[in-house]
Structure 1
Amino acid sequence: MHSPLVVLGGGPGGYAAAFMAADLGLEVTLVEAEPRLGGTCLLRGCIPSKALLHVARVISEVDELRTDWGVTYEGGPQVDIDKVRARKDKVIENLTGGLGQLAKRRGVKVIQARGTFTSSTTLQLKGTDASIPEDGTLSFDHCILATGSIPAMPAAFDIGSDRVMDSTGALDLADLPETLLVVGGGYIGLELGSVYAQLGSKVTVVELSSGLLPGADRDLVKPLAKRIEKLVDGRLFLNTKVGSMSEVEGSVEVTFEGPGKFGHERYDRVLVSIGRRPVTAGIGLENTAVEVDARGFVVCDSQQRTADPHILAIGDIAGDPMLAHKATHEGRVAAEVVAGHAAEFAPNAIPAVVFTDPEIAWAGLTEEEAKRDGVEVDVEVYPWAASGRAQAIGRGEGLTKWLIDPKTSRVLGCGIVGAGAGELIAEAVLAIEMGCEARDVTDSIHPHPTLSETLMNAGEVHFGTATEIYKPKKKAAAKA
């Protein structure tokens, strides 16, 4: 069997690349080991976690009605975990079914198999799909490699017990544990920890570093950290190392070393969420000219080309950030490159969103990066306490900030923490990509009362003209 273009991996990068290539008139074969398209994001990541976060958020809103608005309901929430799981699975089923139909309509040949490179132009396929040739060999002119990533699990934590879960296990919702330990204060641990806490589990969060979400700007993390600490009833421990785990009498015994938590304690379940690693081992890359760096990422250029002229790489295996929307855009670029178009992946801003409550989102240059690299910026912050819409919905803890070039007044970065930050950040991405100046944002009329106004208002802070707060004009802003 031969295909001009093979895409290895059916996640958001892989199917985007395959569909784009088909739209450009190429003959495409998509090889995916899973029985359904969608990859980690759709099957056991972005989509199911957001479905569960929706449930958690609604529960939280009901609690806010009771405590802040005087609206009461009889008793607390009664969670039918089987129905929650079924609803989550239905969302996945609907979306994966749609992808299958789109592949058929585009003429993309989908083969369910595990592919391993035997050379720079050949894959060995293993599986039960009837379309796999007898010799299991699939040759190609070009291959777009999109094998994604998997959760990292240190050997010390891999004790052979299903009570120690990674994100995949946590999303399966086997049960609702009375006690849950979350190891890792990154976005995956905080998102899933929030879900379990709102559903009724007694959640404890431990993080090795001195703060949650390492790498994110501290002023954005602060409102979230306060809310998380309240949600877990103070069981948030920073600068804390998990020493060992063992299964004892139907629970997991964990040892700790930290200023606020030391010794050992037992939990019904443990979620290990300390990051992800690219799937580049065990797929035969040593039989190609593809180069892999020390962290396991495939080395590629801005056109997604690898050191092997027949192979391109996209998504999580192509380097940080490991985000589905990055993979999708890289996949489309790779397809265009294979089709002979002049395309490259060179964004000025890749948005990042933490879908906790409150959400955190940022794009472009961050304040932490500016400090580290010695980049001179004006940091203009608008507190949501001054936003009428934020106050109306009881979410005045948020903030919106722009990082602005003091010489040109161009917007270089944006950070938002608050309800719906993940939706709001898209305007900032467009502004950064278009090379907008702060004046372009402030002179664009935003609807009132909305949270989107805070982007305009933060720009007005730069010029000393924000209506709802008083902050005198800066000298640099006056020159601009």
Structure 2
Amino acid sequence: MSQFDLIVIGSGPGGYVAAIRAAQLGFKTAIIEKYPTMGGTCLNVGCIPSKAMLDSSEHFHNAVHNFENHGISVQSPTADIARMVERKNEVVDQTTKGIQFLMDKNKVTVYQGVGSFESATQVKVTKDDGSSEILDTKYVIIATGSKPSSLPFINIDKERIITSTEALNLKEIPKKMLVIGGGVIGLELGSVCLRLGSEVTVIEYMDKIIPGMDGALSKELQKVLRKQKMKFELSTAVSAVERNGDIVKVTAKNKKGEEVVFEADYVLVSVGRKPYTEGLALEKAGVDLDERGRVKVNKHLQTNVSNIYAIGDVIQGAMLAHKASEEGVLVAEQLAGQKPHINYNLIPGVVYTWPEVAGVGQTEEQLKEAGRAIKVGNFPMRALGRSRASGDIDGFVKIIADEKTDEVLGVHMIGARAADMIAAAVTAMEFRASAEDIARMSHAHPTFAEAIKEAALDATGKIAIHM
């Protein structure tokens, strides 16, 4: 029977990072992954493949709509979705093999099979052929992630009624696509099809898209996507989804209480994700779940069983790859006797549409609800020379600061490269910068990041230079 210091169940961005950090700190570490390739949802059917498809579709969109304005003549470009999917698969293959390389480099033992508890200190690995092996361990990290949620009356047939997993492997460009859910995943994958020529309609139960982000971002993104011809049906509750051959009919009630019917050749169900704990046999280890099926943990990410920890999508909090990675490092370092910390307020959120959307800290709505006295600075991207040079003039940067202390409480932006720029805001807020601190920092010209400096100037009460 093999003996380990630590076993990690799940090889997504939380699990594989935890395993690497633990091995670096001297733990004899094993990782268990039930699928043939490592990397979990993020690398195989989530973050990485979706960005590959977003980039390919954006190139096509620019060739059709924007190249001529830049003096580039392209004769009737066509979209080859088979090649796009093939390229996406190549990117995924390179990335997952990179994780395997890192396991070998850090001497992490990899087991391919389903990991389940026999006890708090024993984990069974069941392989595809039915054979199994028992591993002994001092500690366990549960990092099994999440899977797409659905609605109880929807039958996901994986052909015409699909989730994000199937949307990444479409064999044709939909003529019409209905997206149920106006969150991050629905808008990103809806954008892929929209750029390739599909008629896309987003049906959202709430009265706004990306409801978890700052309200100003929601309004601006909806305006921009509408300009790109994406349609929206907000405050609309879906009640039935039925397939008849190659046509799918969605029945819903709008905000007036009227029944409305939509038809399309594909329906993408994107109503969130749920923690994945199936097959873990948690009861054998005595690990508790909460009312939403998440593994219960304390502030140290420790379950009610002292030697078992859980991280990522399987516990409470935002379902984000980078959050899971930070949690994996935190647990490994705690086990090594270190004192790491995570500031959950400073975990950024990003939507990879074009323009990109990003935010960190508290939203204006949250701060107002808490009765916090604030001041807000805004700067439009169209006022930047760099934006006009590239043609990316949509969006803005918004900085919220405490009215008395000037400490930055939230930064929210929509615009070109917002996904990259948000790191500057995270850094500033980690060091508790004031709006004036940011306003006085030199930003290279011409760059998109100058909008952060200008928004900070506006937040201090000074007049932004270029507005």
Residue 221 of structure 2 is aligned to residue 221 of structure 1: no
Q: Counterpart of 1:368?
A: 365
Indicate which of 387, 390, 395 corresponds to 1:390.
387
Distance 1:18 1:403 in 2: 38
Deviates more, 1:434-443 or 1:248-257: 248-257
Q: Counterpart of 2:122?
A: 122
Distance 2:189 2:206 in 1: 19
Q: What are the equivalent positions in structure 2 for 1:7-406 lying under 5 Å apart?
A: 7-65=8-66, 68=69, 71-75=72-76, 77-128=77-128, 136-158=133-155, 160=157, 162-232=159-229, 235-258=231-254, 262-406=259-403
Distance 1:262 1:358 in 2: 33
Residue 465 of structure 2 is aligned to residue 467 of structure 1: yes
Runs of at least 5 residues in structure 2 that lack an aligned partner in the other structure? none
TM-score, normalised via structure 1 length = 0.92
Q: Secondary structure of the residue that 1:312 maps to in structure 2?
A: strand
User: Pairwise CA RMSD of aligned residues?
Assistant: 1.9
Q: CA deviation at 1:230?
A: 3.0
Q: CA deviation at 1:281?
A: 4.1
Distance 1:407 1:222 in 2: 28
Q: Secondary structure of the residue that 1:341 maps to in structure 2?
A: coil
Q: CA deviation at 1:291?
A: 2.5
Deviates more, 1:119-128 or 1:3-12: 119-128
Q: Secondary structure of the residue that 1:3 maps to in structure 2?
A: strand
Deviates more, 1:409-418 or 1:379-388: 379-388
Residue deviations 1:68-102 (CA, integer Å, cap 9, x gap): 55654222x31122111110000000111111111
Q: Which amino acid aligns with 1:29?
A: A
Distance 2:229 2:281 in 1: 44
Residue deviations 1:376-430 (CA, integer Å, cap 9, x gap): 2111111223222122222222111111112211111100111111111000000
Distance 2:266 2:153 in 1: 16
Distance 1:102 1:159 in 2: 36
Q: CA deviation at 1:439?
A: 2.2
CA contact (8 A) 2:179 2:190 kept: yes
Q: CA deviation at 1:370?
A: 0.7
Residue deviations 1:14-53 (CA, integer Å, cap 9, x gap): 0000000111111001001011111100000000101111
Deviates more, 1:377-386 or 1:44-53: 377-386
Deviates more, 1:290-299 or 1:451-460: 290-299
Q: Which amino acid aligns with 2:98?
A: G
Residue deviations 1:189-213 (CA, integer Å, cap 9, x gap): 0000000111122222111111111
Deviates more, 1:459-468 or 1:43-52: 459-468
CA contact (8 A) 1:303 1:343 kept: no
Q: CA deviation at 1:128?
A: 3.9
Distance 2:158 2:102 in 1: 39
Q: Counterpart of 1:475?
A: none
Q: CA deviation at 1:277?
A: 0.4
Q: CA deviation at 1:443?
A: 1.6
Deviates more, 1:208-217 or 1:20-29: 208-217
Q: Which amino acid aligns with 2:149?
A: A
TM-score, normalised via structure 2 length = 0.95
Deviates more, 1:217-226 or 1:417-426: 217-226
Q: Secondary structure of the residue that 2:137 maps to in structure 1?
A: strand
Distance 1:441 1:346 in 2: 20
Q: Which amino acid aligns with 1:307?
A: N
Q: Counterpart of 2:449?
A: 452
The aligned length equals 464
Indicate which of 409, 433, 438 corresponds to 1:436.
433
Runs of at least 5 residues in structure 1 that lack an aligned partner in the other structure? 470-480
Q: Which amino acid aligns with 1:26?
A: F
Alpha carbons of structure 1 residues 64 and 450: separation in structure 2 relative to 1, 3 Å: farther
Q: Which amino acid aligns with 1:351?
A: P
Distance 1:287 1:346 in 2: 33
Q: CA deviation at 1:164?
A: 0.7
Q: Counterpart of 1:4?
A: 5
Q: CA deviation at 1:67?
A: 6.8
